[in-house]
Amino acid sequence: MGKFEIETDDLVYIPSDDTFLLAENLEIKEGQSVLEIGTGSGLVSMYASLLTEDITATDINFNALELAEKNFKLNNINSIKLEFGDMFEPVKDKKFDVILFNTPYLPTDSDDIIDDDLNYAFDGGLNGRKVIDRFINEVSNHLNDKGIVQIIQSSLSDNDRTLDMFDRNGFVAEIAESEKFFFEEIVLINAYKI
């Protein structure tokens, strides 16, 4: 896993190409406060910890928090605060300089849904936007002025709509990086709060 030793768990999203697309392109300056939504194994927050010390990581999957805590200990990282809950719920009164989210972007119908907590990691609803739209509509309330949002999504969940929504919510957004796969393109979108 590159710089870090990491354990995995069947109930937690295993770091994949999308994880590394985010982890290797972080735009974080020293001293900035960072929030990672849906930390999973904790790997993106671990990369962030190389750049700043003020990191909060949340997840709606309790197994993910337990695994992330294990991985932080394994790598002697003790600067990351873990919070359990849905999206911004655990940090509702706080604002951050950088917000990171490898979104659950896969379009899913009832046949695709799995009956355990791993489902949170990829279930984007019918058009892949169930969580993305909610996130974009709420993120501004938790971001400091001149802050940045970095999210991962797929061409299957309508990149243009995401850019347009960020635009309408007072951001300048762009596709910063992308990786083509057989049937989709995974993109990293950077959105800067004006």
Question: What pLDDT, on the 0 to 100 scale, is given for residue 118?
Answer: 64
To the nearest 10°, the Cα dihedral for 139, 142, 145, 146? -60
Alpha-carbon Rg of the chain, whole angstroms? 15
Question: Helix 130-139 vs helix 159-168: angle between axes, to the nearest 10 degrees?
Answer: 20
Superfamily the domain 32-193 falls into: Vaccinia Virus protein VP39 (3.40.50.150)
Please check the confidence at residue 33 and state whether its pLDDT lies above 80: yes
How confident is the model over 140-160, as pLDDT tens digits?
A: 999 999 999 999 999 989 999
d(CA 171, CA 193): 4
Average pLDDT over residues 36-48: 97
Q: What is the maximum span of the chain, computed from C-alpha positions, in angstroms?
A: 45
Q: Are 61 and 11 in contact (CB under 8 A)?
A: yes
If you average pLDDT over residues 161-170, what whole number do you get?
96
Distance CA 147, CA 19 (A): 21
Pick the closest to residue 102 from 52, 58, 166 (CA basis): 58
Q: Rounded distance, CA 155 to CA 67, Å?
A: 29
* 63-77, 88-102, 119-133, 138-152: the lowest-pLDDT one: 119-133
CA 23 – CA 168 distance, rounded (Å): 27
Kindly report, residue by residue over 11-29, the tens digit of the pLDDT: 888 899 999 999 999 999 9
Domain boundaries of the chain, sorted by first residue: 32-193
Rounded distance between C-alpha atoms, residue 99 and residue 142, angstroms: 8
N-term to C-term CA, the chain: 35
**Number of neighbouring beta carbons within 10 Å of residue 156:** 16
